Amino acid sequence: MRQKLVAGNWKMHGDSQSIRELLTALKPAVAESAAEIAVIPPLVYVPLCADLLAGSSIALGAQTVSEQRNPGAFTGEVCADMLADSGCRYTLVGHSERRSLYGENDALVAAKTEAALAANVLPIVCVGETKEQREAGATLDVVGQQIDVVLSTLNSGHDKITVAYEPVWAIGTGLTASPEQAQEVHAFIRTRLAAHSAELADTVRILYGGSVKAANAAELFAQPDIDGGLVGGASLDAEEFAAICNAIG
């Protein structure tokens, strides 16, 4: 049985004061949630969040990780060992904003996934098609290729990844994939995992991301292949994010 996961990607938002307020409100509000919950703050606030979350079951993640595994002359980069040392259980890899704004391609996403696993940081591998790709009928080809590169690059640790299906046209736009549209792609991703091994298809969690809100979360999370959510904008509001976390049945 896969435990559901709801992760809040704060992107480049927040300051010490607002983060204190957010986590102070969030902790009691999600205490009874059946899901595992994670927050993914800007990197500079990871230590603050680790302090504020001490003793809580809310996990911590990073928004990206270097593909470089060893310390060295890589100005601006942060390696997975540093994330682990700072209390991160998870890291996003290949978020669509990293792919489109910072030139991360499938090979780099696979290298980052490997680097995270080598440090025991659990990668949440983000995949998804653009509006143009969906309109051209290429959704499954695009998502299949994004998944296959990661699965074929890894030597081990396939069962430690989480996949986040995030249609690019739904991220931050207020447009959400319908539960049926999301389920179709999630089921397809599971067949790609099954092509690697049946056990992998059973084990790996596939999250949906793209304008998840309290109002649409329950219906999305009720789909058989949706194992939780990756939530952007709505995770900045403790009450809204708690309602999403508590929508997990």
Q: How far is the CB of 7 from ligand PEP (least distance, A)?
A: 9
Which residue of the chain is nearest ligand PEP when measured via CB? 232
Q: CB count, 10 Å around CB of 227?
A: 23
Q: Is 9 part of any known ligand binding site? A: yes
User: Under rule CB under 6 A, which residues in 195-234 are in contact with ligand PEP?
Assistant: 209-212, 230-234
Closest CA to 106 of 69, 141, 54: 141
- Spatial separation of the C-alpha atoms in residues 216 and 213, rounded to whole Å: 6
Q: How far is the CB of 134 from ligand PEP (least distance, A)?
A: 16
Number of shown-chain residues binding ligand PEP (CB under 6 A): 14
**Residue 13 falls in the annotated catalytic set:** no
**Residue 186 falls in the annotated catalytic set:** no
Q: How far is the CB of 5 from ligand PEP (least distance, A)?
A: 13
Residue 6 vs 171, nearer CB to ligand PEP: 171
Q: How far is the CB of 160 from ligand PEP (least distance, A)?
A: 20
95, 97, 129, 186: the catalytic one is: 95
Q: Is 76 part of any known ligand binding site? A: no
Closest CA to 231 of 248, 215, 244, 249: 244
- Spatial separation of the C-alpha atoms in residues 170 and 177, rounded to whole Å: 7
User: Under rule CB under 6 A, which residues in 83-142 are in contact with ligand PEP?
Assistant: none
Q: How far is the CB of 244 from ligand PEP (least distance, A)?
A: 10
**Contact pattern for ligand PEP over residues 27 through 46, marking x by CB under 6 A:** --------------------
36, 104, 166, 240: the catalytic one is: 166
**Contact pattern for ligand PEP over residues 154 through 173, marking x by CB under 6 A:** ------------x----xx-
- Spatial separation of the C-alpha atoms in residues 206 and 128, rounded to whole Å: 12
- Of the residues 9, 66, 133, 146, which one makes contact with ligand PEP according to CB under 6 A: 9
According to the binding rule CB under 6 A, does residue 185 interact with ligand PEP?
A: no
**Would you name the residues annotated as active-site residues?**
95, 166
Which residue positions form the known binding site? 9-11, 172, 211, 232-233
Q: By the criterion CB under 6 A, which residues form the site for ligand PEP?
A: 9, 11, 166, 171-172, 209-212, 230-234
